[in-house]
Amino acid sequence: MKDRYSITERLDQGGMAEVFRGVAESIHGFKKNVAIKRILPSLTKNDKFVAMFLDEAKLSLHLQHANIVQVFDIGIADGSYFLVMEYIDGCNLKHLLERLKQRGKRIAPAHAIYIMIETCKALNYAHHAEGPDGNPLHIVHRDISPPNILLSKNGEVKVVDFGLAKANTQIESTDPGVVKGKFSYLSPEAASGLEVDRRADIFAVGILLWEMFTGRRLFYGDTDYQTVELVRQARVPSIGALNPEIDAELEAIVRKALARDPDQRYQEAADLGDALAQYLFSRRMKVTARDIAALVRDVQAEQQRKRSLAPKHESLIDALIMEEMDKLTSLLEDDDPVADRAQAAPLDPASFVDTSAWASELGLDESGAVDAPPAVIHSAPPRRATPAADAPDPADNEIESLQQMLEPDRTGVHHFDGPGRGVWIALVIAVLLAGGIGAALFLFKDRIF
């Protein structure tokens, strides 16, 4: 019997997915908190993306490391794909840096180094991970960026989205906002369309170090094209000129990670992690998880304050998503070695959204006339991808609001193809005026009653 999932609150939303806090309940009533990532329905229109997402997401089930967010299940409900993951009670690196900036501060160099050392541990494990057959999996994250580094309230550092990242960088879609902001953390070889390996992730760690030390974005142009060009050129301004706290030895470590030629970089994530650890030890800079926990608690307190000021209402979309979770079908195979559940249901085509049912669920018959009060809506038209928060979307005026989607001339609730009941009543009145009361009632009784 597979776990039953329910959603308790929305945590975050981006250009590709939205994340919820949920609860997994087993057959014996055992409950645990989980994170549920819902892939935006607009992306499921791309068959190549769906195939790559499923392959890579199932691959991530094999990753079990203290610095990697564990994936428990992959499912589908009403055409939307879900990842059920370990819930990290804390914040991501992006929110931490934004909170510090709000307070007019930069993250302390020692804290930034510690977070990246832990990140390198996760990457080194993934880069050398092997499958059940003992063969290398050749995993490259490809999207090491602030939102994908989670920090728990206990000071743990965990990397997320190993399964989704590879598909993310190869998606063939022109929808605005789908990959917005991702270009800033590409490697020069990836920006040039060349094959990438684990050294691309090392370059991304170098970008994060540079940005945390300076408080600025390294590669960020006015357009995606300009950003890609900046990445290809890989020109790195002096860190010391922007932050005197960073000495030449530490800057040299960052510059080696950011070498334009992959052969000139650290060849292993563990090598970069060791160089950073050696710097901390040589400077007698003590940093522990306790220090990171204090930073996370401050972010959580601010997030709680904002939530307390937000309107207390549940949107229609949230309600629909919660209904979808009741229909979630696991996509894990029965013989999956990492699945602990007794049975995992196969992909059921019937679970996809069937638009032919929308009319009946709104209380309409095939002609478009109302034959019953509107029922509870169980399926909703796929929504457009939400643009990334860190860049304006030139197509904002094209995005339909929920109110627009529910306008009468869009739903058909008040738009009929043939004469309605009112038309027939008007005809009856005309006949009555002509004096044929009995004949009118006989001829039109079916239309009236």
Listed in sequence order, the DSSP H helices in 243-357 are 248-257, 269-282, 289-309, 316-326
Sign of CA dihedral 89, 93, 94, 99: positive
**How far is residue 385's CA from residue 400's CA, in Å, rounded to a whole number?**
11
Q: Do 43 and 385 form a contact (C-beta atoms < 8 A)?
A: yes
Tokens 């299940």 locate to 73
DSSP code, position 225: H
Tokens 């170098």 locate to 206
**How far is residue 300's CA from residue 281's CA, in Å, rounded to a whole number?**
30
Q: For residue 149, which phi and psi values (nearest 5 degrees)?
A: -115, 110
CB atoms within 10 A of CB 367: 10
* C-alpha 216, offset from chain centre: 24
Residue among 167, 180, 189 at smallest CA distance from 224: 180
Q: Is 210 helix (H, G, I), strand (E, B) or coil?
A: helix
Active site residue 78: no
Q: For residue 38, which phi and psi values (nearest 5 degrees)?
A: -100, 120
**Which residues, at least 6 apart from 419, have a Cβ–Cβ distance to it below 8 Å?**
none
Let me know how long the chain is.
449
DSSP code, position 385: P
Task: Return the structure tokens found at 142.
Answer: 């490809």
Q: Do 2 and 345 form a contact (C-beta atoms < 8 A)?
A: yes
Q: Do 150 and 86 form a contact (C-beta atoms < 8 A)?
A: no
**How far is residue 206's CA from residue 256's CA, in Å, rounded to a whole number?**
8
Task: Return the structure tokens found at 281.
Answer: 């030890």
Q: For residue 448, which phi and psi values (nearest 5 degrees)?
A: -85, -45
Q: For residue 116, which phi and psi values (nearest 5 degrees)?
A: -75, -30
Tokens 């800057």 locate to 251
Please give the single-letter amino acid code of residue 224: D
Q: Give the active site residue among 143, 161, 175, 201.
A: 143
The residues that are catalytic are: 143
